[in-house]
Chains A and B, each alone.
Chain A
Amino acid sequence: MEALFALCVGVLTTCGVFLILRGRTFPVVVGLTLLGYAVNLFLFSSGRLSINSAAIIGSTDQYGDPLPQALVLTAIVIGFAMTAFVVILAMRGRGDLGNDHVDGRIPDHSSLSDKERN
């Protein structure tokens, strides 16, 4: 289970970082979301991974650590609000600046092909 979990976090982080480094706001926002998922999963695992262990003492022999769950919940709420904000900001940038590039202007590299420029 640990290996699968770690793989998921790793793949999500990789995809997130890759997308954040793109030039347009939409992929960047998606990248931030993916990175947020990876972080939440990672934070959750800091309480160790175990099956069938509720975060309540007495109901099972083995109980889970409740703190990471609370932390993840907080992180999810904050991450959600931030994503909403950055989406609105990206849309406003599209309106104000006339394009959806993160720098506010399409870089003018005549050496690049059309595909690279996007």
Chain B
Amino acid sequence: MSHLVILPFLLPILGGLLLLLPPIQNALIRQRIFAIFTSLLLILVSATLLHTSYTQGTQLYLLGNWQPPFGIVLVADPLAALLMLLTSVLGLAAILFACAGDDETGMYYHTLILLLMAGVNGAFLTGDLFNLFVCFEILLIASYALLVHGGGKQKTQASLHYVILNLVGSSIFLIALGILYGMLGTLNIADMAIKLQHLSHDDQLLVKVAGLLLLVVFGLKSAMLPLHFWLPRTYAAASAPVAAMFAIMTKVGIYSIFRVHTVIFGEQAGELAHIAQFWLWPIAILTLFAGAVGTLASSNLRLLTANMILISVGTLLVGAALGSEQSAGAAFYYLLHTTLVSAAMFLIADMISRQRGKAEDRFVQARQMKQRDLLAGLYFVAAIAMVGMPPLSGFIGKALLLQAADSGASMAWSWSAILLAGLAAIIALSRAGTTLFWRVTSLNEEGEQVPVAKLLAVSLLLICSPLLVIFAGPVTAVTSTAAAVLHDPALSVDALLPALNLSAGGY
């Protein structure tokens, strides 16, 4: 059993704690170097793990060597490893960007980012639902502290809503877990998928309630329609690198929907199969609609980007609602692209607002930015990727997803919703760009020159978009393998319960 599997969870926790101890804690420069070093190491570890899980199949890690349904298990399948790699890249960018000065506005920035990464990685890795809850709490605690990082009225106000909503969400999560454990007697995801098949009709109803409660919780995390009101204000209030890092958090919710509602409530679940699909369709379409309206109504770039996140959540939910292996693979590709690009857009919004004086990133006429050409170039690349125009990765992601809709009805709904939301995004982003870069008066000599660290962070995120296109072949191979593993009960259920297979039938 390789200990590599637990490293993406342990490494950031250890790194985060070491950051608090004297030799590193004394000087900011040492903190920065150490944090960058840790996140580079994390990229290396998750890339290795992705390679291992892709070539040798799912890696199982038994803590304390307990036999699977009983102990705590970590499951590194290609999907989890891929998303951990994504998290590490995003974390590196958030740390690099903050090194240019954002980490001086409050304490413990790097520690909190690393702990957030630990929580996110843990949520991707865990093989049982209770630890999913625990990892959610780890990442939430870090995110609460990060949200108020830097201080200010807006942040306090936004974080009050965010914290209270998430505490209620956690309670609902626990209620769902209580019902599931009471009915199935297990919390291991793979074991649940098996136990689910032997339920009486009355028990099935209760489990269905629990399954839909879980959908509500994950919906709250991922900001799907009726539960999305917290997102735009929270993301717009957070400081730029924090908002960029938060781009992964909605995706944790999406990942959980895919994991729980494909593995537990998937094909083989009998009467409970696909209980979420009925709700996911209208919710996905409405989320896309709300996001599209939001982008058109946004009054500044950060709010616009937050609403673009809403559109991407809607798009991913369409992928979940389609429910096929192909659509899941397409959704994972789109997920990679959208997380990186929307994070980059948050960072660009910050760089723009620092050169526009009092106008910040609001869409009003202002003085010309000092480095207009550079910022406009970055904005242009990010915007093209975001709306899904060729030649960047957004186009491939959307094309794959549209291709995955096979039947007539699903094609009609998903194509029209995704394409119309894309049109709204094009209008909103081009209008924003015109105002920011062309409706200018005299040149503004003041304002901060873009620091190299910030430029590096943004280019790191943006370069991923063309890379995703150039290496589209291998990347789609990995995402479709991830989807195949998720949809194949032999790999996502039976392979995770080795002890039960030995005594097959006696269960």
Contacts and interface: CB of A to CB of B under 8 A. Distances in A.
Interface stretch (A56-64, A75-83, A108-116): A75-83
Interface residues of B, number: 27
Given A89-B163, A93-B157, A102-B164, A45 B141 contact: no
Contact of B159 (A40, A43, A89): A89
Contact of A86 (B157, B164, B174): B164
B268 interface: no
Contacts of A82: 137, 141, 163, 167, 170
B157 A97 contact: yes
Interface in B157-180: 157, 159-161, 163-164, 167-168, 170-171, 174-175, 177-179
Contacts of A28: 164
Given A39-B171, A78-B134, A82-B167, A71 B160 contact: no
B448 to A, nearest CB: 26
A28 B161 CA distance: 11
A93 B156 contact: yes
Contacts of A90: 160
Nearest to B172: A39
Contacts of A81: 141
A102 B168 CA distance: 15
B141 to A, nearest CB: 7
A93 B151 CA distance: 11
A85 B187 CA distance: 28
Contacts of B157: 93, 96-97, 103-104
Contacts of A104: 153, 156-157, 160
B260 interface: no
Contacts of B130: 71, 74
B182 interface: yes
B168 A20 contact: yes
A112 B131 CA distance: 46
A39 B134 contact: no
B153 A97 contact: yes
A43 B172 CA distance: 11
Nearest to A20: B168
Given A20-B168, A75-B174, A85-B141, A46 B156 contact: no
A68 interface: yes
A78 B177 CA distance: 15
Interface in B166-215: 167-168, 170-171, 174-175, 177-179, 181-182, 187
B144 interface: yes
25 contacts: A35-B171, A39-B174, A42-B175, A42-B178, A43-B174, A43-B181, A46-B178, A46-B181, A46-B182, A47-B181, A67-B181, A67-B187, A71-B130, A74-B134, A75-B174, A78-B134, A79-B170, A81-B141, A85-B141, A89-B144, A89-B148, A89-B159, A96-B153, A102-B160, A104-B157
Nearest 9 A/B pairs, CB to CB: A46-B182, A104-B157, A46-B178, A43-B178, A96-B156, A46-B181, A39-B174, A39-B171, A42-B178
Interface of A: 20, 25, 28, 32, 35-36, 38-40, 42-43, 45-48, 67-68, 71, 74-75, 78-79, 81-82, 85-86, 89-90, 92-93, 96-97, 102-104
Interface of B: 130, 134, 137, 141, 144, 148, 152-153, 156-157, 159-161, 163-164, 167-168, 170-171, 174-175, 177-179, 181-182, 187
